[in-house]
Structure formats: structure tokens, C-alpha cells
Chains A and B, each alone.
Chain A
Amino acid sequence: MKRLIQNISLLLTVTALLASCHKAVVDRTTLYPALAPANIDLNADSWKPVLIKDASVFNVPAPDATTSPAYVADLNEIKAYQSKLTSEQRATIKYWSAGAVLRWNEILRDLVAKHNLPPYQNADGTYPIPSAANPFAYPLFPFSNPPYAARAYAYVSAAQYDALIAAYHFKKLYNRVAPYTFDANIQALVPKSALPSYPSEDAVVSGATVEIMKLLFPGDIDYIEQKEAEQKQYRIMAGANVRGELNAGESLGTQVADVFAARARTDRAGKAIGTPADWAALQTKTTARGETFWLSQESPLRPPMLPLFGKVLPFLFDTLTVAALRPGPPNATNSDAFKKEVAEVLSYSENPTREHQAIVEFWADGVGTYTPPGHWNAIAADEFVKQNYSEVRWARNFALLNMAEMDAAIVCWDTKYFYFNQRPTQANPKIKTLTGIPNFPAYTSGHSNFSAAAATVLSYLLPDRGSKFNDMANEASLSRLYGAIHYRSDIEAGMVTGGKVGQYAVQRGKTDGAGN
């Protein structure tokens, strides 16, 4: 019996040891340093905005005089917080200090991943459509598939950018110093900035974001507003803004975002899902050209994803340019070139290497992820944190990237539904895929459009990275061939078009007054 007790205690000791050696997973975004801009970009009020014309038309009343009881009360609020900061509050400061544009971009990516789930079928084999009017009922609104996500990233980034440009106008107009500069008894728990602090750039960003998000993710407003409140509290606790500066910023952000929300309501994205008549017409049109039309590879057959997204209003060019950017037709189904392409896909399907599997998985960005545009936002964020940008430059660079991504989605979707061609698995059912097959036509590859557009913009913004982004874009594009869901020509044509769309953003960047 004594032996037994010894044995049991030995086992328990080993168990305790094992339990203690479990390693915690470190999220790399938690390691981002506090934002300490190398240049505060004081001239950003003269940069070219996306939609707003004249910042002075917005209503930002003069701040309370620094001698007023209201301002003194605001300062005392900071001191009260700073006298008894909890470790949780310090963690909040650390999190948000990485930057408002960055953290809101991450929050958006999170919501995209949360909502990137195709609806489950009805009992009769049809599919329910998410409704913005009832976002909490299944299927939850939205289904943030790649085009939806690309548009969301673009509106949020562009609204943040314009809102910050407007904020700079008022910052310079009122020229209010930060609380930590004004009052020696207030500590700066974030790197100090010489930028005037009224209205707060952090609150401008959150105000704009929250207002746009009411349209894009109406079911998550509670969560988003909780984040906004947390961010405001962070600025106060950090001694970086008084409450009055935050309220003015939020109000300005909301006003600017309303300009974007008005555009979003009429940009034709709401009708992109089409009607059963639209879906049928795609088939007849393709048959009339003597071609094989696309069929959903899902069971039950799912209607095509956002067939009218190609009609959405782009940011960087007009709708005529969308048609002009459309590449020529894919290889005809009865051509030798097509047969050769199908055979190539089959060979990748039948002989997967572990290296190819890894590439396919790395770039899959399918169901339940932040989508390819989100992936490029994550790649950009990892690079931008090294650059010590100001908030306004963060916003401008994300706006350039994400307007390119949205417009790449528009051009790509226009092409996909213009030709409405079949996927490799439809052409040859022997082809099995190494990742989920997207529910829309093959030509041209969405990954290739998104990746080439993003790589073009990022290579312009960060020329010292050399071919890094283009190499990544090539790999992302080829992953779709390795995964046996695209022909090589989908990728090659998609890369060309995506690169052209990216160039429109580069041209804008060259002339927007922000420099490189």
C-alpha cells in the first residue's frame, strides 16, 4: 500500500510538471510599440482628401478656455485616473497606444473574420440572405465575403483619412496643447507629441469608424461602442486628451463619416447580390457566346457570390474605366490551351507537395478569416508599425491600400461575371482541391487581383522593401493554382489587372500632398 501511495504521488508530481510547461501563445499584435511619430505631418490639413471638399464646413466649436471651470474639471478627471491606475487600465493604455488607426483596422479585421461565413441552407435547399434590417437573426448580417470586406476596409480607411485631414484643420485653427504639456502635474503615459490636441485625433478616428460601422456591421454596434468608450478612457488616463477634446473629435469624425455613409448607401453594393433573374441571365448570356457557364460547386447549389459587385462605384476611377480594365476572354473551353490548363491543374491536384500545402494554407484566407484584403492589411500593419507614422499617415496609407483593394474587387468581379466561366473542378471532376473552392467563376483570380494591387501600393509606399511585396503577391496568386482552384491564366490575367488598379492608387499617392 505504501508503494502505491509513492507511485501515485510520483504520478501527481509528473502531472504538475507537465501542466506547468504549457507555453502561452503570443499574439504578435500585442507586441506593437506605442506610436511615436517620427514626423507629426503638421501640413496634413493641405493633403488631398477622398470625398470631403472643405474641412471648414464641419462644426467644431472653439474649445473651452483653459481658465474655464470645464477645462479644469477635465484636467482633474485625468489626475483622478492617474492617481489610482489599475493594472487592467495600464494594459488598456498599452493596447491603444499602438495607434488608433492600427487598432481600429484590427477590430475591423476581427469583425470581417467573425462574419465571413456563408449562410447555412434552408430545409428546401435554398439559401437565406442576411438582412441589414435584422442583423441579429440567422443568417447574421453581413456575410463579409471578400468583396464585402474589401469595400468595408476601403470605407473605414478613407473615412478615417478624411476625418483626420479635417481634424488637422481645426487642430491648427485652435492650437490647443496637450494636457500633459499644459499641466506639469499630468503625466504623459504615451510618447509626447507636439501636435495640437483639439480635437483629439484618436476620437476623430473612432467617431468616423463607429459611424461607418453602423452601416457595415450593424449587429456589432454594442461591441464597437464599447471599444470606442475604452479608447476615449485610454486617452484621458494617458494624459493625452481631456474629455472635451475627445467629444469634439468624435463629433467631427461622425460628421465626416456621414459623407461616406451617404456614398455607401448609393454605391450599388446593396444590390450586388442580384436576383434569380440576374443569375439565370448570366447562364443564357454565356451559352449564347457558345461557352460553358459556371456552376456552383457547392451542394445544394448556392447562388453566385455578389454577381453585380462589378457595378459598384469605385473610389479611384469611374465605371467606364472598370470596363476598360477588363481583360480579354479566358481560353475557350474547346481550345487546346484550355485543355492544357486543366491538365496542369489536375497535376497539381494529384501531386501535392507539403511545401505547396503550406503555401495554399498560408494564403487561403477563406471562410472564417479576414479575407485576402484583410490579409494584406495585416501585412501592411506589420510593416507600418516599423515606420513610426503619424496617425494621419497611417490613415492615408491604409486608405490608398484599401481603395485599391475595393476597386480591384470591383474590376475582378466585373470580369468574373462578364465571362462567367467554369472552375477547374467543373471542367474535370477528377480535380480535387487543397482548400475550399470559392463560390464564383474562375476568371480572373481574386487573390491575384487583390495581391497585385496591394503589392503595387505597398511597394510604392515602402520602396526600401525591394521585391518583398511582389514576391508575396506572386506566391499568393500561385497558391490558387497549387490548391487546384484556378487555372494559370486566371492568375496571370488577375495579376496584370490588379497591378493596373494598384497604379491608380499610386498615382493618387504621388499627388495627394503627403509625399511618399
Chain B
Amino acid sequence: MIKFLHLFFTRYCLATCCIFAFWQTAQAQTDADALMIPKNYFCTGVVYTHSDWKNYWEGTFKRSNANIGTLSSNAFTVVGNYGVTNKLDFLFMAPYIKTNASQGTLKGQSGVQDLTVGLKYLAFNTEIGKGLFSIHAIAEGSIPLSNYEPDFLPVSIGLHTKNLSIRGLANYQVGRFFVAGAGQYVFRSNITLDRNSYYTDHLIYSNQVDMPNVSNVLISAGYRSLKLNVEGIVSQTTTQGGFDIRKNDMPFPSNRMNMTTVGGLAKYSFEDITGVEVTVGGNYVVRGRNVGQSTNLFASVYYILDFSKKTK
């Protein structure tokens, strides 16, 4: 039974779920699950994400805005995942994003956003009772791939920070059922604006913005078989500082953007290991602060290639 469980770690490609729960914060689901790709296997694919919101929070005040209507984002993200060893994966992703406001005069923006690269390490695994317990460590970095404008929220395609993050993930699986929990801390660099003064809770005469760091915790649980994976995910993202949008003010990159999302995803593999894998999923912001109450839906197709020397 336990041996069978081990197979699950070397089963799936990555499920990238770009969350655009306001100001286009891309997050990958794959760095938050307990799945590893085997050594010398490479998985690549494209994720399509649609996100939209009509209501948003100025601080804790929830409202709609007829000068925005529905703010939607559509993104295509190229993703890849390579098994350096059976215990170490290298991953990357880069989205192209286009935003649009359905009402008002604000022009949407589009462009290639940030490149994220990461290492995912299976740090520890052991058998506990009838199940398998594992701990993973994930380190990621991201840098903007283009000189997009972060200071035109909510239509900006991103916040233009350089990020470094670490995440710890614990997973426990019994039979085909699992629960997992993860905690992440994201260090964000300052950003540079095109203007040389801005107001937070006072005027600051600089083109540099101190971007508060961000933490994330999530819990997921679900069903995993060799071909099918279905899970539910609850996630809480918290900005460690920042300020609230005042009533009827414009949003700003260093706002205190918090959100709780509830969602899920399903993955299906058509072949044993190599071959096509599809993922669909989505989530919804149930609670937020200085973010849009977005619905995010994504669908992806991956292809897994075997680069190991052995031939079939």
C-alpha cells in the first residue's frame, strides 16, 4: 500500500493557476502541491486563465464602480517543470496578460508580465501509520519581463516587483485521499514609478515605493489516483503592511491587499507518465481587502516528455 503511494509523488505535471484577484498577482498552484516530476522528465504547457470582478474593497468598504464595470483579465501562461532529480524539480512560468474595463474610459493594458522560476525540493518523507507524510521546500524568484506600468491600477498587468519567496509544504496521504498545508513568505523589492511623488497616508517625494512583503497559507484536500486528481483549496493571502485605499481614491501598488480564496482543481492524465495531461480549476475571493472580488477560472494542457536516456 505504502509503495503504491510513493508513485503519486512522481505523477503529475504542474497545475498553474494564475490568480488575478485584483491587481494581477500571479500565483502558481504547482509550487503548492506535493507532486514531483521524475528525474529527466520535462513537462510543458500553456495555461489559459480568465479572471473578472465587479465588486472590490476600498479598505474594508465593499463597492462596485460604474466607471470600471467589470474588470477582466485574460492570460496565457507558458509553464515548464523539469525533474533535476527525483527529489528536486525546476519550474518556470511566464504569462502574457491583457486587461479590460467594461465601462468608463480607462484603457486596458496588455503585455508579458513576470518570469517566475523555482526549485521544489522533496525534503523529507516517511511512513506514518497507514499513510505517507512528506515535507517539501519551494524557493522561487520572479522578475518582470517587460517595462509595464504598475502605477495604473486596476488596469495594470502587474506590480513590477522582483520577488523571492520560500514555501514549506506538508502533505499526508492515506490511500487515495490526502490533506496538505503550506505556508509561504514572499519578499518583494521596491518598485520604481514614472512619477516622483505619491500619497500613501502622507506625501512621499520619491519615485521608489516600499512594497510590503506578502504571506500566504493554504490548506488543500482531495482525491489522488494515478490518472485523476481532484482537490479543494482554501488560501489566505496577507500583505504585511501597506495602506488602505481611501473612499473613491485610486488603488496603489503598495496597498494592503488581502484575500481569502476558495477553489478547486481537477487534473487528468491520459497516459501513464509521458503524454498529455489536462487541468481545469478555479477559485473565488470570498473575503478581501483592497482587492477585487474575482472569479478565476483556468484550463491548461500539458505535455510530458521523457529526456532520460533509457529507451522504451
Contact = CB atoms under 8 A, between A and B. Distances in A.
A binds B: yes
B192 to A, nearest CB: 10
A138 interface: yes
Interface string B101-137: 0011111100000000000010110000000000101
B194 A299 contact: no
A204 interface: no
A114 B201 CA distance: 8
B248 A357 contact: no
B66 A300 contact: yes
A436 B250 contact: yes
A378 B248 contact: no
A368 B202 contact: no
Given A117-B246, A361-B151, A436-B106, A7 B121 contact: yes
Contacts of B168: 11
Given A113-B199, A362-B195, A4 B135 contact: yes
B247 A117 contact: yes
A157 B135 CA distance: 65
Interface string B260-295: 000000000000000000000000000000000000
Contacts of A386: none
B105 A425 contact: yes
B165 to A, nearest CB: 9
B204 interface: yes
Main secondary structure, interface of B, reads loop
A45 to B, nearest CB: 34
A489 B91 CA distance: 53
Interface stretch (B5-13, B75-83, B205-213): B205-213
Given A28-B206, A117-B248, A369-B199, A23 B190 contact: yes
Interface residues of A, number: 57
B196 interface: yes
Interface stretch (A14-22, A46-54, A313-321, A325-333): A14-22
B107 A484 contact: yes
Contacts of A354: 147, 149
B123 A367 contact: no
B206 A117 contact: no
Interface in A116-151: 117-120, 138
B225 interface: no
B197 A370 contact: yes
Nearest to B126: A1
Contacts of A366: 250
B143 interface: no
B1 interface: no
Interface in A422-444: 425, 431-437
Given A354-B149, A484-B107, A27 B204 contact: yes
Contact of A11 (B107, B151, B166, B250): B166
Nearest to B121: A7
Contacts of A11: 137, 139, 166, 168
Contacts of B195: 361-362, 364
B42 interface: no
A119 B248 CA distance: 7
Interface string B155-166: 000000000101
A160 interface: no
B57 interface: no
Contact of A120 (B135, B196, B210, B248): B248
A157 B199 CA distance: 22
B29 interface: no
Contacts of B189: 22-23
A297 B67 CA distance: 9
A225 interface: no
Contacts of B206: 25-28
B149 A357 contact: yes
A29 interface: yes
A27 B206 CA distance: 5
Given A113-B199, A433-B107, A367 B250 contact: yes
Nearest to B58: A120
A10 B241 CA distance: 26
Contacts of B190: 22-23, 25
Given A3-B124, A138-B247, A357-B194, A297 B105 contact: yes
A4 B204 CA distance: 44
Contacts of A7: 121, 123, 137
A299 B199 contact: no
Which one of B103, B164, B189, B203 has the highest number of Cβ atoms from chain A below 10 Å of its Cβ?
A: B203
The 7 closest A-B pairs by CB, nearest first: A432-B107, A299-B66, A358-B194, A361-B194, A113-B199, A120-B248, A25-B208
Given A7-B121, A28-B206, A118-B248, 13 more contacts: A7-B137, A23-B189, A23-B190, A25-B190, A106-B203, A110-B199, A297-B104, A299-B104, A349-B107, A357-B194, A362-B196, A375-B197, A431-B105
6 contacts: A11-B137, A19-B187, A120-B63, A120-B247, A361-B149, A368-B249
